[in-house]
Structure 1
Amino acid sequence: MFGYSDDWWAVLFVPVVFWVPLGPFLMGAMGVWCARRPGWRPRLWSMALPALPVGVSGSVLTAGLIRLQEETWQEDLLGYLVFYVLGITVLPWLLGYGTVRTARALRSRRPEAEEPPA
């Protein structure tokens, strides 16, 4: 691609770019899936799905902070963890999971409607 030998790394950044707008929806769906079908497969997919975009962007951020030796590296790392990891990845999963579990708990507590006598 583009005549440079290291341009194949650009392929790894495609999921990173799409993770910002689509990641919350995907992770919310993963949380719903985990709440509806307990088991190891939904939880494994919930961890594997964000591994590439979060891992690539985190490694680039960490490598940049180490190389530049900026004074604000703690604030940058904290901002990345709060926005990218918690805000885009963990919070939507928790919202999807919590919504389904809460709805199930409320539905199970609701008394069944009794049939009128004939």
Structure 2
Amino acid sequence: MPAFALAHLHDTPVNEDILNYIERIQATLDPFGGRFRVHGAEVEVREGDWPGTVVIIEFPDLDRAQAWYDSPAYREILPLRTRHIPGAALIVDGVAPDYDARRTAARLRARAAG
């Protein structure tokens, strides 16, 4: 099952550290099968408030996503971003290809019914 690293980044300035980070991040992803799914795209806000941009990176599974984030190669370049861009980052498990939200609703209904 795929897993994803997501970042909601605010105030994304372009400076030498950020450029260095962007130039080096792919090499940290490759050993873990990570691939950008969203990077540098304009965000169209439909509900609520969303200052900044979003980054989504897909990994083959949760273990590899976690291993990438904790890897020495990524930890080395991480401060290049975090010193300049505030925001939140998370790792989340994806859903199986046969996922159906109706099954989730049925489980939640059963739980609520006691």
Higher strand share: 2
Verify same fold: TM over 0.5: no
* TM-score, with length taken from structure 1: 0.29
State which structure, 1 or 2, has the greater radius of gyration over its C-alpha atoms.
1
* TM-score, with length taken from structure 2: 0.29
